[in-house]
Amino acid sequence: MIKVKNLYHSYSNDENYAVDDVSFEISKGEIFGFLGPSGAGKSTTQNILTGLLQLQKGEVEVAGYDVKHIKNKMFNKIGMSFEQSNVYNKMSGLENLEFYGKLFDVDTRNPMELIKMVGLDGKENIKAGKYSKGMKHRLTFARSMINNPELWFLDEPTTGLDPAIASNIKDIIKEENNKGVTIFLTTHNMYIADELCDRVAFIVDGKIRLIDSPKELKLKYGEKLVEVEYLREGKPIKESYSTVVEEEKNQLIKVIKENNIQTMHTKEATLEEIFIKVTGRGLV
């Protein structure tokens, strides 16, 4: 669905690249997470893919279209949810969706259905300018689905939302993905990436440092340990056992059999820990 080969971009038109030799491919139906701290080159890459920035150097194919010679038809296939809400403040939520629906050449979704989906029903006739930040964000998110996109660009889709609504948004993303929609997710939130993405790319200083599935990354970079907490003679004991070394595996079995286990979990590395380990950089 997306093919990027040796992509470069410089805002100063010199060799000071904001995106530096980036290559990746995304298959149909995949959720691809583009992860990195602020200024890493995430938005620049996404802006090039969506035609908001002109392609300077490299090859980019999006939804079957060459981005070098971008055509309006391409936008019938893609949806874009911006991090910063950008709706018409003087129009109601419903009017916003109705208007954008008219700008596509394909069958569009029922605006009211989308309003309900993001929990704005009952507020559809209020001017968007009177919406809270979170409500505007949900309206921007809903708008990006108006044309039933095959390829969906999501830029920080849950930022600024309360946990219940963020969970609702994640469910919508999963649901759309189950229908076959390919998703390009740009975020610095590792938890949402971990939960949703089939594969993630770590980008720092314009370069991709690693691309893999969260599961593989955890296996590769996580410590293969089980942490057990149990009571021995009334006192709490906390110990770790390897799930690889045979002797420690037997000790773990013995502890489980002979003691009253309070807590026990595998010690998986989080994506954030892996990111820091791989890139040597934090995510903020």
Partner 1 sequence: MKLWYSFTKELILSSKSWYFYIELGMAIILLLVLLFVVPEDFDSKSEEYMYLDVPQVVKDRYRDNLKDEDLDEESQMVEVEADKRTFQAEFYETDESEIYILDNMEALNAFSSGERVPTVHVRVNEENQIVHTYYLQGYETQKLKNLLLVFHNRKAGYDVIEDYSDNIPVRSLYQNIEPLSDRENVIPVFLTFNGSLMSLFIIAAYIFLDKSEGIIKAYAVTASSVWHYLLSKIGVIIVTSIATSLIITIPIMGLQPNYFAMLLFIITSGFFAASLGLYITSFYKDIIQAFGVLYIVIVIMIMPNISYFTPSWDPDWIKIIPSYVMLQSFKEIISINGNIAYVLVASLGFAVLGLDIFILANHRFKKTLTL
- Binding residues for partner 1, per CB under 8 A? 47, 50-54, 72-73, 75-76, 78-80, 82, 84-91, 99-100, 102-106, 140, 143, 147
- Minimum Å gap between C-beta 26 and partner 1 is 18
- The residue among 34 and 275 lying less far from partner 1, judged by its C-beta, is 34
Our CA angle for 70, 201, 277, nearest 5°, is: 155
Q: Which is nearer to partner 1, 115 or 151 (CB)?
A: 151
Q: Which is nearer to partner 1, 56 or 242 (CB)?
A: 56
Question: DSSP letter string over 120-173?
Answer: -TT-TTSBGGGS-HHHHHHHHHHHTTTT--SEEEEESTTTT--HHHHHHHHHHH
Cα dihedral 188/270/3/8 (nearest 10): 50
| CB of residue 90 to partner 1, shortest distance in Å | 5
Residue type, 71: K
Please name the helix (run of DSSP H) or strand (run of DSSP E) that holds residue 246, with its range, or none.
helix 246-258
What is the Cα–Cα distance from 203 to 225, expressed in whole angstroms? 28
Pairing of strands 199-204, 207-212: antiparallel
Give least dist CB 193 to partner 1, A.
23
C-beta closer to partner 1: residue 10 or 251:
10
- Supply the minimum distance, in Å, between the C-beta of residue 133 and partner 1: 13
CB of 50 to partner 1, least distance (A): 5
Report CA 237 to chain centroid distance, whole Å: 39
Q: How far is the CB of 284 from partner 1 (least distance, A)?
A: 23
Q: Are 133 and 150 in contact (CB under 8 A)?
A: no
Q: In whole angstroms, how close is the CB of 19 to partner 1 at the nearest point? A: 13
CB pairs under 8 A, 24+ apart, for 58-62? 58/4, 58/5, 58/6, 58/7, 58/8, 58/22, 59/3, 59/4, 59/5, 59/6, 59/7, 60/2, 60/3, 60/4, 60/5, 60/7, 61/2, 61/3, 61/4, 62/1, 62/2, 62/151
Closer to partner 1 by CB, 90 or 220: give it: 90
Smallest distance, Å, CB 95 to partner 1?
Answer: 8
Closer of 143 and 218 to partner 1 (Cβ): 143
Beta carbon nearer to partner 1, 92 or 158 = 92
Q: Which is nearer to partner 1, 102 or 257 (CB)?
A: 102
Contact between 111 and 98 (Cβ < 8 Å): yes
